[in-house]
Amino acid sequence: MRRPAARLAPPLALVVLLGGAAPALAGQTACWFEHGAVVAPASIAGLTGDYVIDLSAPHTLLHNTKAQAAGYEDTALTVPVRLAGQTVPALAVAVVDLDARGGPFDTPIAGVIGADVLGRYVVDIRFAPCRLTLSRPGSEPAFGRGASLPVTLVGGVPTVTAAVADGAKAWSGPFAIDTASTAAARLPGLEARLVPPGTKLDPQARHLAPARLRALSLGGILFESVGATLADDLPAGLAGTVGTQIWSRYRLRLDLAAGVLRLAPSERGASNEKGPDVAVGP
């Protein structure tokens, strides 16, 4: 942050030790919660736009139409990524076709910000009104009381232990924390008998939850008769994902360095807010 002109400059030795201006310890941006996904303003390679915030995506992605319009022809880039006042100066980003992911949104989706960016910070997500905060570990704002779930990294994404039941059987395992899907659970090999006759399961249509599960259990809490859909892109070792039908009931704090996901009761308010771009904290 720029210091007031009237204040004295710090000693030269201190500037050298700090390597110049220190990075922001915390930054916040207004986001919006649309079609089951958290979306926020961000930039990849200087290309600003609306980006899906997806903790269940191991890698950050740039939409090929966005890249090509800016003159990028390669499908693998190493470029800066900026989100909520924080910058990763050089990140490996894949350029892919995201038309299927962006189809339901009112405005074009420029890309997906994944766990390779988000996992570097303490991530706070408030759904209503939507706010995304990224903090350096140890500098995060007060969160208040809430439940805590152990988090482990599987296939490059943060996971919690959950269990699902379809009436005939139940299974448990590591489930990715999915902030970009409507369904309470996305599951590989979802059985046809869980889906209404004539319904086609499209794993790219993550704004839909056409199947039903009898129950999902998470942190000792039972959620009954919840929506589900098919997943065909999960990293090896995952049993599925837990989506925003569950998470939007809470405020979330993911601290991957500490291995914990904290949940607090949701604050009621407008859930579809597009607010100011980025407001950087101290």
- Residue 15 DSSP code: H
Residue, of 7 and 223, whose pLDDT is higher: 223
Residue, of 110 and 22, whose pLDDT is higher: 110
Q: Where are the alpha helices (DSSP H) in 26-170?
A: 64-69, 99-102, 115-118
pLDDT score, position 171: 86
The whole-angstrom separation of Cα 93 and Cα 234 is: 18
When computed from its CA atoms, the radius of gyration of the chain, rounded to whole angstroms, is 20
Domain assignments of the chain as residue spans, ordered by start: 25-144+269-274, 148-250
Q: Which residues contact 137 (CB under 8 A, 6 or more apart)?
A: 121, 122, 255, 257, 258
Tokens representing residue 51 in the block = 């980006």
Helices (H) and strands (E) in the chain, counts: 5, 21
Q: What is the mean pLDDT of residues 122-140?
A: 94
Residue, of 104 and 64, whose pLDDT is higher: 64
Partnered with residue 60 across adjacent β-strands are: none
pLDDT exceeding 70 applies to what percent of the chain? 84
How confident is the model over 59-94, as pLDDT tens digits?
A: 999 999 999 999 999 999 999 999 999 999 999 999
Q: What is the mean pLDDT of residues 126-146?
A: 90
At 138, the pLDDT band (50, 70, 90 cuts) reads: confident
Which strand (E) or helix (H) includes residue 246? helix 244-247
Question: Under a CB-based contact definition with an 8 Å cutoff, are residues 132 and 40 in contact?
Answer: yes
Looking at the domain 25-144+269-274, which fold is it? Cathepsin D, subunit A; domain 1 (2.40.70)
What is the β-pairing status of strands 211-218 and 170-177?
unpaired
Question: Under a CB-based contact definition with an 8 Å cutoff, are residues 162 and 170 in contact?
Answer: no
pLDDT score, position 191: 66
The whole-angstrom separation of Cα 227 and Cα 208 is: 9
pLDDT score, position 26: 78
Residue 22, pLDDT above cutoff 60: no
pLDDT score, position 42: 98
How confident is the model over 146-183, as pLDDT tens digits?
A: 899 999 999 999 999 999 998 778 889 999 999 999 99
Residue 276, pLDDT above cutoff 50: no
Please tell me the least confidently modeled range out of 134-138, 241-245, 250-254.
Answer: 134-138
pLDDT score, position 24: 67
Tokens representing residue 250 in the block = 């809470």
pLDDT score, position 63: 97
Residue, of 95 and 104, whose pLDDT is higher: 95
pLDDT score, position 197: 72
How confident is the model over 193-240, as pLDDT tens digits?
A: 567 776 777 888 899 998 889 999 999 999 999 999 999 889 999 999
Question: Under a CB-based contact definition with an 8 Å cutoff, are residues 276 and 20 in contact?
Answer: no
Residue, of 271 and 17, whose pLDDT is higher: 271
